Protein backbone atom coordinates (compact mmCIF):
# COMPACT_ATOMS: atom_id res chain seq x y z
CA UNK A 1 0.00 0.00 0.00
CA UNK A 2 2.85 2.32 0.92
CA UNK A 3 4.39 1.58 -2.45
CA UNK A 4 1.15 2.19 -4.35
CA UNK A 5 0.80 5.52 -2.61
CA UNK A 6 4.31 6.61 -3.54
CA UNK A 7 3.65 5.58 -7.11
CA UNK A 8 0.41 7.49 -7.17
CA UNK A 9 2.09 10.63 -5.89
CA UNK A 10 4.68 10.19 -8.62
CA UNK A 11 1.97 9.84 -11.26
CA UNK A 12 0.21 12.98 -10.09
CA UNK A 13 3.46 14.86 -10.26
CA UNK A 14 3.89 13.86 -13.89
CA UNK A 15 0.27 14.66 -14.70
CA UNK A 16 0.49 18.15 -13.31
CA UNK A 17 3.23 19.00 -15.78
CA UNK A 18 1.24 17.89 -18.81
CA UNK A 19 -1.28 20.70 -19.04
CA UNK A 20 0.07 22.55 -22.07
CA UNK A 21 -2.83 23.40 -24.37
CA UNK A 22 -2.46 22.92 -28.12
CA UNK A 23 -2.75 25.72 -30.69
CA UNK A 24 -5.95 24.10 -31.94
CA UNK A 25 -7.34 24.27 -28.44
CA UNK A 26 -6.35 27.92 -27.98
CA UNK A 27 -8.00 29.06 -31.20
CA UNK A 28 -11.24 27.47 -30.06
CA UNK A 29 -11.08 29.30 -26.75
CA UNK A 30 -10.67 32.64 -28.51
CA UNK A 31 -13.89 32.05 -30.41
CA UNK A 32 -16.06 30.80 -27.60
CA UNK A 33 -18.60 32.92 -25.76
CA UNK A 34 -18.51 30.85 -22.59
CA UNK A 35 -17.28 32.92 -19.66
CA UNK A 36 -15.28 31.34 -16.85
CA UNK A 37 -17.43 30.82 -13.79
CA UNK A 38 -17.39 29.84 -10.17
CA UNK A 39 -17.71 26.19 -9.21
CA UNK A 40 -21.35 25.11 -8.91
CA UNK A 41 -22.75 22.01 -7.24
CA UNK A 42 -24.07 19.47 -9.66
CA UNK A 43 -26.16 16.33 -9.10
CA UNK A 44 -23.92 13.37 -8.31
CA UNK A 45 -26.05 11.15 -10.58
CA UNK A 46 -25.54 13.44 -13.57
CA UNK A 47 -24.22 11.27 -16.45
CA UNK A 48 -21.28 13.63 -17.06
CA UNK A 49 -20.35 13.50 -13.38
CA UNK A 50 -20.47 9.70 -13.52
CA UNK A 51 -18.24 9.77 -16.58
CA UNK A 52 -15.79 12.06 -14.78
CA UNK A 53 -15.75 9.70 -11.78
CA UNK A 54 -15.05 6.78 -14.10
CA UNK A 55 -12.16 8.70 -15.71
CA UNK A 56 -10.76 9.35 -12.22
CA UNK A 57 -10.82 5.69 -11.28
CA UNK A 58 -9.36 4.70 -14.65
CA UNK A 59 -6.53 7.08 -14.00
CA UNK A 60 -6.13 5.57 -10.53
CA UNK A 61 -5.96 2.09 -12.05
CA UNK A 62 -3.40 3.29 -14.57
CA UNK A 63 -1.28 4.69 -11.77
CA UNK A 64 -1.26 1.79 -9.31
CA UNK A 65 0.26 -1.64 -9.49
CA UNK A 66 -2.62 -3.41 -7.75
CA UNK A 67 -3.51 -6.78 -9.26
CA UNK A 68 -7.18 -5.83 -9.22
CA UNK A 69 -9.08 -2.93 -10.74
CA UNK A 70 -10.82 -0.39 -8.55
CA UNK A 71 -14.19 1.06 -9.46
CA UNK A 72 -16.13 4.07 -8.22
CA UNK A 73 -18.55 3.03 -5.48
CA UNK A 74 -20.06 6.32 -4.34
CA UNK A 75 -19.89 9.95 -5.44
CA UNK A 76 -20.52 12.07 -2.37
CA UNK A 77 -20.04 15.53 -3.84
CA UNK A 78 -19.60 17.07 -7.26
CA UNK A 79 -18.84 20.59 -8.41
CA UNK A 80 -18.48 21.81 -11.94
CA UNK A 81 -16.74 24.93 -13.17
CA UNK A 82 -16.49 26.35 -16.66
CA UNK A 83 -12.79 26.81 -17.38
CA UNK A 84 -11.77 26.31 -21.02
CA UNK A 85 -14.22 23.43 -21.08
CA UNK A 86 -15.62 21.87 -17.95
CA UNK A 87 -13.76 21.11 -14.77
CA UNK A 88 -15.37 18.61 -12.42
CA UNK A 89 -14.32 18.47 -8.79
CA UNK A 90 -15.37 15.24 -7.18
CA UNK A 91 -15.39 13.55 -3.79
CA UNK A 92 -15.60 9.94 -4.80
CA UNK A 93 -15.19 6.61 -3.06
CA UNK A 94 -13.50 3.86 -4.97
CA UNK A 95 -13.27 0.20 -4.04
CA UNK A 96 -11.38 -2.87 -5.17
CA UNK A 97 -13.24 -5.15 -7.56
CA UNK A 98 -12.80 -8.84 -8.30
CA UNK A 99 -11.58 -8.05 -11.83
CA UNK A 100 -7.91 -8.60 -12.51
CA UNK A 101 -6.18 -5.75 -14.26
CA UNK A 102 -4.22 -7.92 -16.68
CA UNK A 103 -7.45 -9.35 -18.15
CA UNK A 104 -8.54 -5.87 -19.34
CA UNK A 105 -12.15 -6.35 -18.32
CA UNK A 106 -14.91 -3.78 -18.76
CA UNK A 107 -15.31 -2.06 -15.37
CA UNK A 108 -19.10 -2.05 -15.77
CA UNK A 109 -19.08 -5.83 -15.34
CA UNK A 110 -16.79 -5.85 -12.31
CA UNK A 111 -18.31 -6.57 -8.90
CA UNK A 112 -16.75 -5.32 -5.69
CA UNK A 113 -14.62 -7.59 -3.54
CA UNK A 114 -16.45 -9.38 -0.75
CA UNK A 115 -13.36 -11.17 0.56
CA UNK A 116 -12.39 -9.45 3.84
CA UNK A 117 -8.69 -9.69 3.10
CA UNK A 118 -9.00 -8.07 -0.29
CA UNK A 119 -11.82 -5.60 0.33
CA UNK A 120 -10.55 -2.01 0.21
CA UNK A 121 -12.27 1.34 -0.10
CA UNK A 122 -10.48 4.64 -0.62
CA UNK A 123 -11.76 8.19 -0.44
CA UNK A 124 -10.57 10.32 -3.31
CA UNK A 125 -10.69 13.91 -4.37
CA UNK A 126 -10.28 14.34 -8.09
CA UNK A 127 -10.40 17.09 -10.64
CA UNK A 128 -11.33 16.11 -14.15
CA UNK A 129 -11.01 18.57 -16.95
CA UNK A 130 -13.11 17.79 -20.00
CA UNK A 131 -12.98 19.62 -23.31
CA UNK A 132 -16.10 18.21 -25.01
CA UNK A 133 -15.54 19.82 -28.43
CA UNK A 134 -12.09 18.23 -28.68
CA UNK A 135 -13.15 14.98 -26.98
CA UNK A 136 -10.20 15.50 -24.68
CA UNK A 137 -9.88 15.02 -20.97
CA UNK A 138 -7.29 15.19 -18.24
CA UNK A 139 -7.24 14.17 -14.61
CA UNK A 140 -4.83 16.79 -13.25
CA UNK A 141 -5.61 16.09 -9.58
CA UNK A 142 -6.23 12.74 -7.92
CA UNK A 143 -5.70 12.27 -4.22
CA UNK A 144 -6.79 9.08 -2.51
CA UNK A 145 -6.41 7.87 1.04
C1 LIG B 1 -5.22 4.73 -18.98
O2 LIG B 1 -4.23 4.16 -19.79
C3 LIG B 1 -4.68 3.84 -21.09
C4 LIG B 1 -3.57 3.10 -21.79
O5 LIG B 1 -2.32 3.67 -21.53
C6 LIG B 1 -5.09 5.12 -21.81
O7 LIG B 1 -5.57 4.83 -23.10
C8 LIG B 1 -6.20 5.79 -21.03
O9 LIG B 1 -6.54 7.04 -21.63
C10 LIG B 1 -5.77 6.01 -19.60
N11 LIG B 1 -6.93 6.52 -18.86
C12 LIG B 1 -6.87 7.55 -18.05
C13 LIG B 1 -8.14 7.98 -17.42
O14 LIG B 1 -5.84 8.13 -17.81
C1 LIG C 1 -9.51 -14.13 0.49
O2 LIG C 1 -8.33 -13.71 -0.15
C3 LIG C 1 -7.15 -14.25 0.40
C4 LIG C 1 -5.97 -13.59 -0.29
O5 LIG C 1 -6.01 -13.76 -1.68
C6 LIG C 1 -7.18 -15.76 0.23
O7 LIG C 1 -6.01 -16.31 0.80
C8 LIG C 1 -8.42 -16.31 0.93
O9 LIG C 1 -8.50 -17.69 0.66
C10 LIG C 1 -9.68 -15.62 0.40
N11 LIG C 1 -10.82 -16.01 1.23
C12 LIG C 1 -11.95 -16.46 0.68
C13 LIG C 1 -13.05 -16.77 1.65
O14 LIG C 1 -12.11 -16.56 -0.53
Q: Which of 112, 109, 108, 145 is nearest to 126 (CA)?
A: 145
With the most atoms of ligand 1 within 8 angstroms of its CB, the residue from 19, 57, 59 to mutate is 59
Per-residue pLDDT tens digits for 81-103: 998 899 999 999 999 999 999 99
Q: What is the mean pLDDT of residues 117-130?
A: 97
With the most atoms of ligand 1 within 8 angstroms of its CB, the residue from 15, 16, 56, 62 to mutate is 62
Q: How far is the CA of 58 from the centre of ligand 1 (A)?
A: 7
Q: Looking at residue 16, what is its pLDDT?
A: 41
Per-residue pLDDT tens digits for 14-58: 444 344 445 554 444 444 444 568 999 999 999 999 999 999 999
Q: Looking at residue 94, what is its pLDDT?
A: 98
How many whole angstroms separate alpha carbon 69 and alpha carbon 111? Answer: 10
Name the 3-class secondary structure at 63: helix
Q: In the chain, what are the domains?
A: 2-31 (no CATH), 40-144 (3.10.450.10)
Q: Which comes out higher in pLDDT, residue 5 or 36? A: 36
Q: How far is the CA of 33 from the centre of ligand 1 (A)?
A: 31
Amino acid sequence: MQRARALLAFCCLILSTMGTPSADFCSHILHTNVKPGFPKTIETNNPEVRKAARLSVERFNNCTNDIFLFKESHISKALVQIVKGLKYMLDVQIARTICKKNKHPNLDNCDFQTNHTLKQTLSCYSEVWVIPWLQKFEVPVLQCH
